[in-house]
């Protein structure tokens, strides 16, 4: 099997965090969200992976992942000139896929359970496609599957973002496919928003008699389309620290209960950390700092006189003012907050390389 990670899209709902890079490189618990997808694919034995990049700083994606050797895989980059839909991005990968079955993974999705069981089920079957479903509270935001009332093993139809849905089963961003999908996409018509929708391709495939099955995701799944989603995903991943299935096993770290601390990080005795939390390498946590719970601090950060909870501070940041209180906030790479005034913010977003003097 082969793997495809979709790494395009403009991430407009994540501004200003996406002014200077693709949303899929935004970190969740100090790891780019698309790396969770790559590791899921690698862990089921997929070594050949295509990353479909768009026009939002594709060079940053290539700089981070390179040829894939550092991650134990082989990466091919495929360029999607404009965001014309998931099906359009998949069609660009026809030559890469060849005659193999393959998995498409949206790079801004994070899945709690790994793909092992699902992959075994699909690879040993004669299915033409298999989708994963998850119960959600707001189905109008997603593609939604309707199960046949007479045969619960079958999908009746799939509708993209229905206004008044009688089903709460969202189609999550992981698709198990065969090359038959390319013929379907070739005759697919753009949706009202001008895109080739994956839900339309799956529906058309069913209409033409192809065999499509589904499975229900256990645990959690997160589509990280908004800052609130990213902070929530950060909480969910940090909650895995210390469990048998934790996401965050890395080299050169120490784990103290539910707190991960990177190499060469100094923490003042006048500061405190409440887990779950992760602090990267080469950080200096100075006096009067209180971190946690649910805080991620990237590499090479310097902090002093601050109280931070339920937040993400990316790498190379400096926060040291008279007093800084942040909650449910995201501070982007290489940003700085300093000065002599008290800052108290919830839901605060700071773009990359921003200097806030208060």
Domain CATH number, residue 24: 3.90.550.10
Q: How many domains does the chain have?
A: 2
Whether 233 is in a domain gets the answer: no
Residues 287 and 162 in one domain: no
Whether 237 is in a domain gets the answer: no
Residue ranges making up the domain that contains 320: 253-357
228 pLDDT above the threshold of 70: yes
Whether 247 is in a domain gets the answer: no
Residues 263 and 221 in one domain: no
Domain stop point among 172, 207, 225: 225
Domain stop point among 207, 225, 243: 225
Whether 187 is in a domain gets the answer: yes
Residues 272 and 221 in one domain: no
Residues 172 and 265 in one domain: no
Convert the chain into a string of H (helix), E (strand) and C (coil).
CEEEEEECCCCHHHCCCCCCCCHHHCEECCEEHHHHHHHHHHHCCCCEEEEEECCCCHHHHHHHHCCCHHHCCEEEEEECCCCCCHHHHHHCCHHHHCCCCEEEEECCEEECCCCHHHHHHHHCCCCCEEEEEEECCCHHHCEEEEECCCCCCCEEEEEECCCCCCCCEEEEEEEEECCHHHHHHHCCCCCCCCCCCHHHHHHHHHHCCCCEEEEECCCCEEECCCHHHHHHHHHHHHCCCCCCCCCCCCCCEEEECCEEEECCCEECCCCEECCCEEECCCCEECCCEEECCCEEECCCCEEEEEEEECEEECCCCEEEEEEEEEECCEECCCCEEEEEEEEEEECCEECCCCEEEC
Q: What's the pLDDT score for residue 249?
A: 64
Provide Rg for the chain, Cα atoms: 21
pTM of the model: 0.93
pLDDT digits (tens, 9 = 90+) for 318-343: 999 888 999 999 999 999 999 877 88
pLDDT digits (tens, 9 = 90+) for 71-122: 999 999 999 988 899 999 999 999 999 999 999 999 999 998 889 999 999 9
Residues 30 and 179 in one domain: yes
| Residue showing tokens 């360029």 | 79
Residues 258 and 207 in one domain: no
Average confidence (pLDDT) over 290-308: 96
Q: Which of 65-74, 192-201, 294-303 has the lowest mean pLDDT?
A: 192-201
Residues 135 and 258 in one domain: no
Residues 208 and 287 in one domain: no
Average confidence (pLDDT) over 15-38: 92
User: Residue 307: which CATH number?
Assistant: 2.160.10.10
Residues 107 and 36 in one domain: yes
Residues 260 and 197 in one domain: no
Residues 25 and 158 in one domain: yes
Give the span between the Cα atoms of 317 and 26, in whole angstroms: 15
Residues 348 and 207 in one domain: no
Query: What percentage of the chain carries pLDDT values higher than 70?
Result: 99
Whether 242 is in a domain gets the answer: no
């Amino acid at each position: 099997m082969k793997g495809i990670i979709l790494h395009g899209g403009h991430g407009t709902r994540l501004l200003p965090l996406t002014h200077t890079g693709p949303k899929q490189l935004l970190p969740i618990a100090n790891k780019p969200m698309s790396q969770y997808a790559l590791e899921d694919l690698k862990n089921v034995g997929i070594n050949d992976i295509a990353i479909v990049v768009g026009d939002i700083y594709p060079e940053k994606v290539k700089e981070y992942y390179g040829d894939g050797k550092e991650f134990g895989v082989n990466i091919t980059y495929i360029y999607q000139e404009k965001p014309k839909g998931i099906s359009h991005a998949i069609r660009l990968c026809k030559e890469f896929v060849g005659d193999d079955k393959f998995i498409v993974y949206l790079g801004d999705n994070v899945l709690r359970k790994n793909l092992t069981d699902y992959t075994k089920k699909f690879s040993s079957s004669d299915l033409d496609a298999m989708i994963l479903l998850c119960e959600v509270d707001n189905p109008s935001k997603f593609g939604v599957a309707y199960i046949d009332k007479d045969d619960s093993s079958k999908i009746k139809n799939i509708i993209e973002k229905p206004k008044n849905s009688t089903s709460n089963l969202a189609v999550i961003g992981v698709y198990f496919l065969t090359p038959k999908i390319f013929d379907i996409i070739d005759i697919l018509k753009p949706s009202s928003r001008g895109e080739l929708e994956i839900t339309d391709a799956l529906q058309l495939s069913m209409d033409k008699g192809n065999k499509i099955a589904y499975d229900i995701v256990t645990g959690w799944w997160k589509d990280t389309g908004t800052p609130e989603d990213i902070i929530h995903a950060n909480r969910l991943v940090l909650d895995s620290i210390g469990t048998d299935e934790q996401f965050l096993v890395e080299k050169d770290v120490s784990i103290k209960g539910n707190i991960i601390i990177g190499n060469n990080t100094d923490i003042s005795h006048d500061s405190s950390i409440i887990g779950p939390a992760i602090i990267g390498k080469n950080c200096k946590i100075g006096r009067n700092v209180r971190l946690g719970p649910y805080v991620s601090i990237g590499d090479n950060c310097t902090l002093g006189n601050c109280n931070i909870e339920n937040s993400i501070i990316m790498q190379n940041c400096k926060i040291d003012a008279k007093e800084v209180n942040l909650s449910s906030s995201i501070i982007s790479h290489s940003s700085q907050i300093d000065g002599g005034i008290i800052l108290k913010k919830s839901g605060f977003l700071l773009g990359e390389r921003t200097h806030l003097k208060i």
